[in-house]
Amino acid sequence: MRSDSPRHQGQRLQLVEQLRERGIVDERVLEAIGQVPRHLFLDSSFEQYAYRDAAFPIRAQQTISQPYTVAFQTESLHVASGAKILEIGTGSGYQAAVLAAMGYKVYTIERQKELFDFSKGLLQELGYRVTQKFGDGYKGMPAFAPFDGILVTAAAPSLPQELLEQLRPEGRLIVPVGDVESEQSMHAVWMDATGARHEDVLGQFRFVPMLKDVDAGR
Ligand code: SAH
**pLDDT per residue as tens digits for the range 19-51:** 999 999 999 999 999 999 999 999 989 999 999
Residue 61 lies inside a defined structural domain of this protein: yes
Whole-number pLDDT of residue 186: 98
Residue 191 lies inside a defined structural domain of this protein: yes
Total domains present in the chain = 1
For the chain, list the strands marked E by DSSP. 56-58, 62-64, 84-88, 105-110, 130-134, 147-152, 167-177, 184-191, 197-205
Residue 152 lies inside a defined structural domain of this protein: yes
Residue 82 lies inside a defined structural domain of this protein: yes
**pLDDT per residue as tens digits for the range 79-123:** 999 999 999 999 999 999 999 999 999 999 999 999 999 999 999
pTM recorded for the entire structure? 0.97
To test the ligand 1 pocket, which listed residue (62, 72, 175) has its Cβ within 8 A of the most ligand atoms?
62
Helix or strand run (H / E) with residue 162? helix 161-164
Any idea what the CATH number is for the domain that residue 132 is in?
Answer: 3.40.50.150
Q: What is the dihedral of CA 203, 57, 214, 128, to 10 degrees?
A: -80
Q: Please list, in sequence order, all residues whose beta carbon lies within 8 angstroms of the beta carbon of residue 65, skipping any fewer than 6 positions away.
A: 55, 73, 91, 94, 95, 153, 207
Nearest CA to ligand 1 atom 2: 91
SS3 assignment, position 99: helix
Domain interval for residue 75: 54-205
**pLDDT per residue as tens digits for the range 54-83:** 999 999 999 999 999 999 999 999 999 999
